[in-house]
Structure 1
Amino acid sequence: MRRVHWRAYAKTGRLFTRLETAPERARFRIYLDQSPSMRLHGKLPYAREVAALLLRIARQEDPLARLEGGSPEELRPGKGVLVLVTDGLDPLPWPRLLPRRVVLVQVLSPLELDPPPTEALLKDVETGETLPVGREEVEAYKEALAAHLKALRLLALLRGRYALLRVGEPPLPALLRQGVLELL
């Protein structure tokens, strides 16, 4: 009797029953970026700590939550919520991630966020290229990084949540402050 659709019965005079499906629980997949750029400035050990914390929290809601790792290019689509822990310095596969909810947790070192304005010779760990830098290049880098962070944040917020963590800061208060744990 509880499943009889009484409004439909009142309009048509015929009995209809409501079909109810149980809501599907969110499935969580935490993906740890292990690209070469994550191996600089202590980002990978810190990111592992953050991923382990997020996995413990996600397993309270979803006992089947899992942790995976690799480079962003190896990321495969799936169901549920993807929590991507990365430095965001590699191109991310956003077109493949469109239908899913994404939580982007970006991990950067304080040195990457605010490099000293000194002359140096930098080497790109991804490509092996070297580049001499001075004050002008550091300022250009800071401007480009600010634009990149803004674009990543916007893309992530369109699909879910975003947090920027600095290596060494306590992750739990930062994730709470930035609203990431509300989704988990």
Structure 2
Amino acid sequence: MIETVGGAILIAFMRICDVTIGTFRTITVVQGRKYQAAVAGFFEVLIWIFAMRYIVQHLDNIYNLIGYALGFSLGNILGISLEEKVALGYVQVNIISPHKSEVIAKILREKKFGVTILPAEGKSGELSILIAIIKRKFLQDLMKTVEAIDKRAFITIQSSRPYRGFIHGSRV
């Protein structure tokens, strides 16, 4: 019985590892980081092959199959959680605050966020759109700053992949 459960735990652990690595690999592929994606892919597949080898050798054990599925599920949770902590890459934050755009831009710039102000027109008239392209690891700080000034600001966040140049005045 110990070997039966031990094998299932081993498989679950291997799946947690390879799916977690796979989450990072997927993000690096999307961000165009081909060498990091290749290294991650190597270890992801290597671990997966060892897990599959063990499962195929012990197909009669239902616990191994449950361990495989459990490891996959937990690997997704762990991979996404770790990626949120590491916060690879950049995001573009668009902020629309009908009455406090200038204040938000001023304070964000004081905090070393690069902000571009674009004139715009909405249903209720003229307004400004603030655009900041920042490293994802600074997103929570930017969001807290904006929300402290205007809790009703309309904010969108999208992944960004800078092509060339630099982000003037931005944090390092």
Whether the TM-score (by the shorter chain) exceeds 0.5 is: no
Q: RCO (CA 8 Å, sep 6+): is it higher in 1 or 2?
A: 2
Q: Give TM-score, length-normalised by structure 1.
A: 0.29
Which structure dedicates a bigger proportion of its chain to helix?
2
Relative to the length of structure 2, the TM-score reads 0.30
